[in-house]
Amino acid sequence: MFQRILQMLVKEFLQLRRDKSARFRLLVPPVIQILLFGYAATFEVFNVSTIVADQDRTPESRALVAAFVHSSRFELKAVVPSPEQVCAAVQRSDVHVGIVIPPGFSHRLRSGDEAPVQVLLDGTNSNTALIAGGYVGQIAQAFAQAQGEALLQASGRALTAPRVRLQVEPRFWFNPNLDSRWFFVPGVIGSLVLVTIVNLTAFAIVREREVGTLEQLLVTPIRPVEFILGKTLPFFMIGLLEVAIVAGIGLLWFRVPFNGSALLLLAGTCLFLLSALGLGLLISTVCRTQQQAFASNFFVLNPMFILSGFGFPIASMPQPLQWLTLLNPLRHFLVIIRGTFLKGVGIDVLWPELACLAALGAVLLTASVLRFRKSLD
């Protein structure tokens, strides 16, 4: 038995070695994708282009503008005289934020009336607008506090009332600088491996069927289980290698920390690969041609990617979709990857995900082997 499996293994690796384009497809797209995600995927908000209409032109109004600029969250593109120009600039998308300080701002400030400031946010990108709006509030709050204190002192009355000072000290655990890269790069490992392995497995078997070599193989003394093992083991190894390569780029090039146990990640990867192989096999049993396999893969893998928590929080999805994600092996694997990379948590925290992966892998593999044997008859 082992000899026959070994021979299958040798055959598969020989095929891969001779197929230049397959090797290219195995190596180049993953590297391009991790670089793209590492550099292009960011939700951070820095230096948002901002325009200011300062109709007041006093030291106070300039101090407010300076407070915005110094935060490094906003980048002053222009100071214009009229609010209409601010509106036009936002409308044209030249800037994303417009600030209007009306005339009499400092006068009202000094006389103790509430001084209005208008802030215009381009909501086209709701995420950027939401975060930028939060920064506007924080900066204005700090400015207001400083002004309020100055006012009270200027009023000449000795301050006998208690000053309430409530400071917030946020500490971001696992990602102290809230670097988007630390969030996305570990996730790419999971999604890439899923796509590569499901594609490889499905294509390899459908190709044999399409070319007619599947029947040739079946007349040899090889048994179905041996055939499946011999066919999937090479992909299992390739999957491990791919995880190592992509993780290596993440660690060495993007400097994403790895705080957990490598052994735990390895265990999670092996369990995840079972699901991926099972899925690939299952797809191969329903497809006659490679073209069909390609289309089926897209229809299966694309929802898995979106419903995995890769980039979009599962907690924000509608409840039925949240339940559906529990059936998604990628979702569980991403928890394990981020848990080991960023959080550094151990098996005491990650065991439910490992158990889910094992269960999903077992179901998928069993179903695919059963179907596969049937499809041979």
Partner 1 sequence: MRWRRIVAVARKEALQVVRDPRSLMIALLLPLMQMFLLGYGVKLDVDRIPLCVVDEDGSQGSRELVERFTSSRYFALRAVDRTVAPAVRHIDLGECRLALVLPPRLAERLAGGGATLQLLVDGTDSNTATIAAGYARNVIDSHATMLQLQALERHGYPTHALRPLDVRPRVWFNEDLESSYFIIPGVVALVMSVIGSQLSSLTIAREWERGTMELLVSTPVTRLELMIGKLAPYFAIGLVDAAICVLVAVGWFGVPFRGALVTLLGTTSLFLSVVLAIGYLVSVSIRSQVGASQVALVLTMLPTTLLSGFTFPIDQMPAVVQGVTTLVSARYYVTILKAIFLKGSSALELALPIACLALYAAVVVALAARAFRKTLD
Q: Pattern of binders to partner 1 over 301-330, x per CB under 8 A?
A: -xx--xx---xxx-xxxx--x---------
**Could you tell me whether strands 74-80 and 48-54 are parallel, antiparallel, or unpaired per DSSP bridges?**
parallel
Output 252 or 315, the one with its CB closest to partner 1. 315
177/256 Cα distance (integer angstroms) = 12
The residue from 4, 9, 16, 49 that contacts partner 1 (CB under 8 A) is 49
Stretch touching partner 1 by CB under 8 A, among 11-19, 21-29, 217-225, 266-274: 21-29
Stretch touching partner 1 by CB under 8 A, among 249-257, 269-277, 337-345, 368-376: 337-345
Output 51 or 293, the one with its CB closest to partner 1. 293
Provide φ and ψ at 272, rounded to 5°: -65, -40
Output 53 or 229, the one with its CB closest to partner 1. 53
Output 18 or 157, the one with its CB closest to partner 1. 157
Quick check: 170 binds partner 1 (CB under 8 A)? yes
Give the total of residues touching partner 1 (CB under 8 A).
109
The residue from 140, 233, 237, 347 that contacts partner 1 (CB under 8 A) is 140
Indicate the residue type of 369. Answer: V
Quick check: 36 binds partner 1 (CB under 8 A)? yes
Residue 108 CB, shortest distance to partner 1, in Å, is 8
| CA dist list (Å): 119 to 51, 53, 125, 322 | 10, 10, 16, 36
Q: Pattern of binders to partner 1 over 276-305, x per CB under 8 A?
A: --------------xxxxxx--xx--xx--
Residue 189 CB, shortest distance to partner 1, in Å, is 15
Helix axes 347-376, 224-248, angle to 10 degrees: 140
Output 103 or 116, the one with its CB closest to partner 1. 116
Quick check: 155 binds partner 1 (CB under 8 A)? yes
Provide φ and ψ at 101, rounded to 5°: -105, 110
Residue 43, SS3 per DSSP: coil
The residue from 116, 220, 326, 327 that contacts partner 1 (CB under 8 A) is 116
Output 111 or 220, the one with its CB closest to partner 1. 111
Stretch touching partner 1 by CB under 8 A, among 3-11, 30-38, 267-275, 360-368: 30-38
294/51 Cα distance (integer angstroms) = 49
Quick check: 232 binds partner 1 (CB under 8 A)? no
> Please, how many CA atoms are within 13 Å of residue 21, restricted to the half-sphere of its CB?
0
Angle (CA) 341 345 351, round 5°: 110
Output 224 or 311, the one with its CB closest to partner 1. 311
The residue from 118, 216, 220, 366 that contacts partner 1 (CB under 8 A) is 118
Q: Give the distance from CA 324 to its chain's centroid.
A: 19
Neighbours of 215 (CB within 10 A): 11
User: Of 180-209, which residues contact partner 1 (CB under 8 A)?
Assistant: 180, 182-183, 203
Helix axes 329-338, 347-376, angle to 10 degrees: 150
User: Of 94-113, which residues contact partner 1 (CB under 8 A)?
Assistant: 96, 109, 112-113
Helix spans in 249-346 (H): 262-286, 290-306, 319-325, 329-338
Characterize 155-194 residue by residue with b for buried, 16 or more Cβ atoms within 10 angstroms of its Cβ, and e for exposed. eeeeeeeeeeeeeeeeeeeebeeebbbbbbbbbbbbbbbb
